[in-house]
Structure 1
Amino acid sequence: MRKIILAIIGVLLIIASFLFAKKLIADKNKPKPVAAKVIKTVFIDTVQNSTIPIVIPAQGNLTAKQRVELYAEVQGVFRPGSKLFKAGQTYRQGQTLIRVDASEYYASVQSAKSNLYNSIAAIMPDLRLDFSDIFQKWQSYLNGFDLNKTTPKLPEMTSDKENYFITGRGIVTNYYNVKNLEQRLAKYSITAPFSGILTEALVTEGSLIRNGQKLGEFINPSVYEMEVAISKSFANILKVGESVSLTNLDKTESYTGTVSRVNGSIDAATQTITVFIEVKDSNLKEGMYLEANLDAKQIENAIEIDRNLLLEDQQIFVVKDSVLDMIPAKPIHFSDTKVVLKDVPNGTVILKRAVPGAYAGMLVKPFTENVQAKDSIK
């Protein structure tokens, strides 16, 4: 019985060994599965060369084109006027901005004018006797002399004899002394040189003003200028009078400006040139930041693509028979996000969007609206 059991076990082992060996041979000869090729869907565009305008973006803040910093040239107490001297106060041209107490100085001016009058009156008898031909001229001058008005100009001297006589009496010297005092008296009052608004007030009514002290700032809020710096390569292209598109930083408002001035020198440190853009709008305020788009020039027979589509060796990917290839391109101008290229033939199919991991020889499938529609139905 024992021998029969051992025999059966031996037969089973032989059969199992045979089946295992057969399986190993079958697995060895079995072909490996072929990995399916992955074909990426890409966005493409067909090249059509055209005229590409070069637009230079630049940013800057607005400053009033007409701007006056107010400084005191005399000393005295600030007297109240018809309007409070406060920031935001508007004035018309010719209105008094600041009036400094000049009562003491005014008295000295009147004294000098009186001395001049007396000097001329003292020579009138001599003129009547020795210079009868010019007596009436000087008599008319005295008759028109008013101490409460600006000193009139001395009569014109027509002969050397008259000149020597009048000058020798010190009348000409006295006259110019009076005019000098009157000029200084006018500085006790500051008037608005144009209609505008006070943007800064550093003194208040009743305070003592000192010579050379800054009093405030006055601007014309109707015209502003924006200073921007651009590359020196466009120095000979930008022209005065060209229209410029302006927007605020939020891109919610747009304005139109004009190139008013172009600096004649280039900044040695930054190699840029300064351009001034004039803009008028009631919604603008001094200090606002705006972005300008300056039309510099136009490139003939060129295309504009995203900067990330241009490779480091100045090549771009093209699609030929569903396979990626590379061709050389000549970059002309770079902006923040775009690049202008030349030497790309018309009809060339290029990538419209960058493909991660792209390489020459890569199989691709152009994206179409029909494919997208079928995929959405599925």
Structure 2
Amino acid sequence: MHFLRRSLTGLILMSLTLGMLAYAAHLLSASVQARMERSPGPGAREEREFAVKVVQATPQTIAPTLTAYGEVQSRRALELRAKAAGTVIELAEAFEEGGQVAAGQVLVRIDPADARTLRDRAESDLMDARAEAREAGRALELAEDELAAARDQAALQERALERQRGLEERGVGTSAAVETAELAAAAARGSVLTRRQAVLGAEARIDQAETATARAELALAEAERRLEDTTLTAAFSGALSEIMVDEGALVSNGEQLATLIDQNALEVAFRVSTGQFARLLDEEGRLREAPVTAVLEASGARLTAPGIVTRASAAVGEGQTGRLVFARLEAAQGLKPGDFVTVEVAEPPLANVVRLPAGALGPDGAVLALGEDGRLQPIAVTLLRRQGDHVLVRAAEGAPDLAGRRVVTQRSPLLGAGIKVRPLGEAAEAESPESAETVELSEERRARLIAFVEGSRDMPDAVRTRLLDQLAQARVPVSVVARLETRMGG
């Protein structure tokens, strides 16, 4: 009996154990089956969406800006050089680096003693030449008077000869008297020739005196110029630079003393490529007078000066490329010759172009636009200009129109044709406004959504802040809740 009781007890315990094991196996199988029913299979996984920023492509007319770099220089810069050798005895108060001088102002005086001596000597020579000219004139007058007297004497002798010949013909006179009269007439004629030679000599002396006077006047004028060259004046108003002399210095003829720069006649020289230069030409191939702006930025300061394109270099320098263009600056306050500035040149307006961020253009020359199903579609475009962080493009020939399309602003290797994306940005909000319908959330549901938003790493900070503000409200838009729960998989 005792053995049978123990056997029945063991059988009952074993039956209970087997039953509990079978029940546990059933529960485990049911749990696994339920989990498998809730989890989608490999072929039923949801497609991943990428959040992208988009902008609305709006065709418009834009005037591009050509950006180049150039150097400010003065259109009038004069090297001040000494015209005479000597010691500097006087300098203007403004004769220093950056000194402002006016046109005609005396800048430098060189010791004029030697030049003044030469001028005085030239004046003395001129006085001698003029005295000689006066004496020659008086000598000519006397020679002419003597010539007149000799001619009168010769005339008397001729009449006496005729009278003696008449007496001889009437038999009153003698041959000896006629011969004596002939000799006297011949002597009178010789005296006339002598006096004529004296007159010619006096006239030649006057010519020589006039030549000597003219030569003395030239020497005096040269001496006066040399005396004036000892004083150096400013040819125009401007500022002095590169001062190389001080009072008391000994300078030589032609030595550079300073440089005078006209600060009101500034221009900027900048080099552009051949393609950029071609855009500055008009229909007739002439350089347009395009407006420019010279910008100098340093330590937070920004100096600007408007201007206009005036000319281009006549030839390409050796070892250079492109074209050197010059622009005249107006009201260039604060700019100095030698400043390295940024030059912004206004180009002719371009019609029907789209302005996009530079990151929207891919290396294949296309942009990614959103289709109606939320998938990306590449659109080939023609790059017209690069404007800093933006590009100006136009749809390529045969490509779909960009007008009104939402374009991805930043390309990445994960994005491509056919990829499904979720747009972010102003264009997405404008095209897909959130529904006005709201719902009141439970605390548990609200906490779960907030935790998801705060833990999302690929969500932009601006979007995260906006969603948290919406979730903090008493009633939350239904579209926001549905979008978040869809991303959570709940």
Instruction: Please state which band the TM-score falls in when normalised by the shorter chain.
Output: 0.7 to 0.9
What aligned pairs does 1:36-51 form with structure 2 within 5 A after superposition?
36-51=46-61
Q: Does 1:351 align with 2:410?
A: no
Deviation at 1:207, TM superposition (A): 2.0
The structure carrying a bigger helix percent of its residues is 2
Q: Given the superposition, is the C-alpha separation of residues 359 and 342 from structure 1 closer, same or farther in structure 2, using an over 3 Å criterion? A: same
Residues 164-204 of structure 1, C-alpha deviations (whole Å, 9 max, x = no match):
93499555544444444443333322101112222332222
1:188–1:12: structure 2 CA closer, same or farther, 3 Å change rule? same
The within-5 A match list for 1:1-378 is 12=17, 16=21, 23=28, 27=32, 30=36, 32-33=39-40, 35-81=45-91, 83=93, 85-128=95-138, 130=140, 165-166=207-208, 169-236=211-278, 237-238=280-281, 239=287, 241-249=289-297, 250=300, 252-267=302-317, 269-281=319-331, 283-287=333-337, 288-321=339-372, 322-343=374-395, 345-351=401-407, 353-356=409-412, 357-366=414-423, 367-368=428-429, 370=433, 376-378=469-471
Q: Secondary structure at 2:114's aligned position in 1?
A: helix
Q: Distance in 1 between matches of 2:137 and 2:408?
A: 99
The letter for the 1-side match of 2:331 is D
2:95 counterpart SS class: coil
Q: Distance in 1 between matches of 2:221 and 2:100?
A: 32
Please state whether the residue corresponding to 1:368 is helix, strand or coil: helix
Maintained 8 Å contact 1:42/1:351: no
Give the length in aligned residue pairs.
350
Q: Deviations over 1:146-179 (max 9, x none)?
A: xxxxxxxxxxxxxxx9999349955554444444
Shift of 1:10: 9.6
TM-score scaled by length of structure 2:
0.61
Cα gap change, 1:355 to 1:81, in 2 (>3 Å) = closer
SS for the counterpart of 2:64 is strand
SS at match of 1:119: helix
After superposition, the Cα gap between the structure-2 partners of 1:131 and 1:342, relative to the gap in structure 1 and judged at 3 Å, is farther
Computing the radius of gyration from Cα coordinates, the structure with the larger value is 2
Output the CA distance in 1 between the equivalents of 2:209 and 2:395: 84
Structure 2 gaps, min length 5: 143-202, 282-286, 435-462, 472-490
- Asked if structure 2 preserves the Cα contact closer than 8 Å seen for 1:58 and 1:292, the reply is yes
Distance 2:110 2:343 in 1: 44
Q: C-alpha separation between the residues in 2 aligned to 1:308 and 1:78?
A: 66
CA contact (8 A) 1:242 1:259 kept: yes
1:53 and 1:296 in contact (8 A); partners too:
yes
Q: Secondary structure of the equivalent of 1:109?
A: helix
Q: Percent identity?
A: 18
Deviation at 1:108, TM superposition (A): 1.8
Shift of 1:360: 1.4
Q: Is the 8 A contact 1:241 1:258 kept in 2?
A: yes
1:318–1:348 CA contact under 8 A, matched in 2 = no
Q: CA deviation at 1:318?
A: 0.9
The offset of 1:95, in angstroms, is: 0.9
* CA displacement 1:102-143 (0-9 Å, x = unmatched): 2123212321332133223312332455599xxxxxxxxxxx
Asked if the contact 2:133–2:206 (Cα under 8 Å) also holds between the matched residues in 1, the reply is no
SS in 1 for 2:108: strand
CA deviations 1:11-49 (Å, max 9, x no partner) are 847964895598479748935446554433433334333
Bigger drift between 1-10 and 265-274 goes to 1-10
- Once the two structures are superposed, residues 235-285 of structure 1 have per-residue CA deviations (whole angstroms, 9 ceiling, x without a partner) of 352535432233332574443212233223334644221222222327323
Q: Secondary structure of 2:72's partner?
A: strand
Given residue 298 of structure 1, which amino acid in structure 2 is its aligned partner?
A: P
Report the Cα offset of residue 101 of structure 1. Answer: 0.8
Q: What secondary structure does 1:111 align onto?
A: helix
Conservation of the 8 A alpha-carbon contact between 2:379 and 2:395? no
**Superposition RMSD in Å:** 3.7
Matched residues in 2 for 1:274 and 1:131: separation? 74
Aligned 8 A contact 1:85 1:204 in 2: no
CA contact (8 A) 1:223 1:281 kept: no
Structure 1: how far apart are the matches of 2:387 and 2:418?
30
Separation of aligned partners in 2, 1:315 and 1:42: 17
Partner amino acid for 2:379?
I
Q: Distance in 2 between matches of 1:9 and 1:186?
A: 139
- Shift in CA distance, 47/163, structure 1 to aligned 2, threshold 3 Å: farther
Partner of 1:142: none
Counterpart-to-counterpart distance in 1, 2:407 and 2:267: 42
Q: Residues 62, 281 of structure 1: CA spacing in aligned structure 2 closer, same or farther, 3 A cutoff?
A: same
TM-score norm. by structure 1 comes to: 0.77
CA 352–267 in structure 1, closer or farther in 2 if over 3 Å, else same: farther
Letter in 2 for 1:65: R
How far, CA to CA, are the matches of 1:174 and 1:292 in structure 2?
59
Partner Cα separation in structure 2 for residue 62 and residue 340 of structure 1: 30
Q: Which moved more, 1:199-208 or 1:34-43?
A: 34-43
Structure 1 Cα separation of the partners of residues 204 and 347 of structure 2: 67
**Contact persistence 1:85–1:205 (CA under 8 A):** no
**Does the Cα contact within 8 Å between 2:136 and 2:209 map onto a contact in 1?**
no
1:30 aligned counterpart, secondary structure: helix
Contact kept? 2:133, 2:209, Cα under 8 Å: no
- Cα distance change of structure 1 residues 114 and 72 upon mapping to structure 2, 3 Å threshold: same
